[in-house]
A and B are shown apart, each in its own frame.
Chain A
Amino acid sequence: MARFIRSVRDARGLDAVLVWLALGYLGVFSAFPLVYNVVISLQTVDLFSLASFERPFVGLQNYREVLGDPVAGTVLWNTIQFVVLSVVFQLAIGFGLALFFQQDFPGATYLRGLFLAGWIMPALVVGAVWSWILAGDFGVLNYLLRSLGITDGNIFWLSDPNVSLYSVIIANIWLGIPFNMILLSVGLAAIPRDVYEAAELDGAGAWQRFFTITLPLMRAPLGAVVSLGIIFTLQQFDLFAALTQGGPSNASNVAQYWSWQLSFQTYQISYGSVVSVLMIVFVVAVAAVYTRSTRHEQSY
């Protein structure tokens, strides 16, 4: 016993305890669910066999069924659009705002803090607010567009199949901007002032300074923000639940929502697992890129 306590007190034993704690936690709360999910995706599982172990293995049959579903193509294309457009605009606008607040003007830091308000709100609340803004017959946005003479009739943001996906994207961009802005602001603040001053003395204009100093030095934060943005966007579920439920006619359905629908609306839990396994594979790839980008982070 005394030896054990001594080994914990000296650093080596403590290290071992910490490592096992962390590994144990990861094993129980991350690895097990992940592996279990993969197992379910290879079996026939519905709501009632979920708790029993008598579940026939069907190999890749579920994958063939899910990928062969005519909806799969629509969902894949929607997911790509949702992720790419959301991330690009969140990043561009967030970066723009970060640069804007980098200018020293009175109240800049307070105003920047206020921008976080949107990010703090639960996505379901944000969804409810946007559903009033975007409502077809009585929506605020339609009223505004009509009053300004931009449109003649109402646009049915949530029920027009050509528009509904973009409505959710708009709401999601709005939701993600503050997070992007804050992370990038931190990155910007870490760039030493004297680099800019030296460049200015050498006659570099604002654009030159941006492209030769800001962008290269922001490589790591930008990489992190893009990777996190992709991961968060793939996790975005509440907005779909609140705004369109993936409709009409799957026009705004994306992988994460489809997975839920398969599991909990038609109770084809194995099919839902297939979709989430495919998503995990993709997210792991993104996460790998993210960890690489943070490993190369430079210090000044």
Chain B
Amino acid sequence: MKLKTCIHAVAGLLASTAIVSAQEVSLDLWTIDDPGEYHYVLAEEFMEKHPDIKINVRTVQFEDMVNDLARAVATGTGPDITYIDNPEVALFASRGLLMDLKPYIDKSEIVNVEDIYPGPLASVTYEGGIYGLPRGANTIALYYNADMYREAGLDPDNPPKTWDELYEAAKALTKPEENVYGIAFSAVATEEGTFQFLPWLQMTGGDYDNVATEGGARALNFWKRLLDERLASPDTLIRGQWDSTGTFNAGSAAMSISGPWELPRMSEEADFEYRAALLPVPEEGATRASALGEGDNVILASTDNPDEAFMFVEFLYAQMPRVWNEFGYLPASDVEVTDPNNAEIYAVFEESMKYARNRGPHPEWPRISQAIQQAIQSTLTGQAEAEAALETAQQKIDGVLGD
């Protein structure tokens, strides 16, 4: 008996040294999350499953990610794995800084490229390679205040489907004497403005490389009309989506165009019945489009442990069915989400995801985006006609595309 315990103890000791002597791998992960959010939670879970792999998570501010990453890569101090906002993947991939995951994905039993929705897939694809895996996705839809609809004599079961209906609804819902605007959205001169405007352009057949179109002018003039007639606040020009939707939550706007990231705060702040609908289209039967947000998990080309890094990225991808309920993103691939929170709104966003289109991809995306922002702003402030503003933007974009 005594001998037996002794043998057990020795065996146990041997086993534990075997684990220690198995090369412990350490991976650096950069994220925009704070502790308690996606990357932190999942890194913990992964480490529990794989005690021989240590993941060091570091938070980088969203606005600083591109700058910090570029600087770190240049000085050889970059992480192994990082999160990048989806329009930025091409910027890094085009410079050979990201690892092509395609050979790994081809062998993977978890990642199946056909399952990834076309928008998110396009955002990680660059010249035939796949440079990241989406961690989730988001898109935009039309939130509306069902109580205000009833008050204004509108049918909350029948939200606007076309631009004309949207205009009529906004008009009926605007109450200047009570400081209530019909609709809130964002035309701010940042990436958010581009994010909100592109779907409108895409619904009319244009895209980031083809902005000087009749449809583009129509979309911009529609926005301008909302502002000029004060159906939306003039501050739409300087407010991001979060602040715009804040006015919706406070009951100062009857509708708001934004994404699923609003839901946690909306459920706390909004003391009315809110619902969501797909973005209205130019006219019945027109092509749908929506924005594509969220980012990707990418592996840097400079990593020393590509196998372990891919194991982790693959593990993250495998959590796709959980992202809606636990982290508030939409799945970026075709997975079954059981018992989703906010089921009705989830259904709207899930359908909207099918129409979500990528921004770009292009290695010089920030310059293209800025040209679009400038066209939006100069039209809405009345400094230029929509056609002329879009023509100027087109020239700039052609300059970038021709580079």
Seen from chain A, the residues whose Cβ lies within 8 Å of a Cβ on chain B are 47-48, 50-52, 135-138, 156, 158-161, 244-251, 264-268
Within 8 A of A (CB), among B225-241: 233-238
* Segment touching A, from B52-60, B155-163, B375-383: B375-383
Residues of chain B within 8 A of A51, CB atoms compared: 71, 74-75
Nearest B residue to A71 by beta-carbon distance?
Answer: B374
Min Cβ gap A21→B in Å is 29
Cα–Cα, bound, A74→B254 (Å): 36
| A249 engages B71 (CB within 8 Å) | no
B21 contacts partner chain A, Cβ-Cβ < 8 Å = no
B366 CB-CB contact with A under 8 Å = yes
Residues on A with beta carbons closer than 8 Å to the beta carbon of B237: 159, 247-249
Q: Across the interface, do A48 and B74 meet the contact criterion of CB distance under 8 Å?
A: yes
Q: Which B residues lie at the A interface, using CB under 8 A?
A: 66-67, 70-71, 73-75, 95, 97, 179, 188-190, 233-238, 247, 252, 366-367, 370, 374, 377-378, 380-383
Task: Give complex CA distance A51, B95 in Å.
Answer: 14
B374: chain A residues within 8 A (beta carbon): 249-250
Q: Residue A245 contacts which of B189, B234, B235, B236 (CB distance < 8 angstroms)?
A: B189
Number of A-B residue pairs, CB cutoff 8 Å, is: 76
A249→B383 contact, CB < 8 A: yes
Selected contact of A52 from candidates B74, B378, B380, B381, CB within 8 Å = B74
11 pairs of residues in contact across A and B, judged by CB atoms under 8 Å: A47-B66, A50-B74, A137-B235, A159-B234, A159-B235, A245-B190, A247-B188, A248-B238, A248-B381, A266-B370, A267-B66
B residues near A47, Cβ cutoff 8 Å: 66-67, 70
- A230 to B382 Cα, complex, angstroms: 32
Indicate if the CB atoms of A249 and B381 lie closer than 8 Å. Answer: yes
Using A156-B235, A265-B366 as known contacts, say yes or no to A248 and B377 having CB atoms under 8 A apart: yes
B interface SS class: helix
Instruction: Please state if A50 and B71 are interface contacts (CB–CB under 8 Å).
Output: yes
How far is A161 from B238 in the complex, measured between Cα atoms in Å? 11
Q: Given the complex, which residues of A lie within 8 Å of B367, measured CB to CB?
A: 266, 268
Q: Which residues of B contact A48 (CB under 8 A)?
A: 70, 73-74, 95, 97
* Contact (Cβ within 8 A) A247 B238: yes
**When the two chains form their complex, are residues A161 and B383 in contact, meaning their CB atoms are under 8 A apart?**
yes
State the CA gap A269–B361 with chains docked (Å).
22
Contacts of B189 in A (CB 8 A): 245-249
In the assembled complex, which residues on chain B have CB atoms less than 8 Å from the CB atom of A158?
235, 238
Instruction: Provide the residues of chain A in CB contact with B366, threshold 8 Å.
Output: 265-267
Is A251 touching B235 in the complex (CB atoms < 8 A)? no
Closest Cβ of chain B: how far from A136's Cβ, in Å? 5
Q: Is the CB of A136 within 8 A of B235?
A: yes
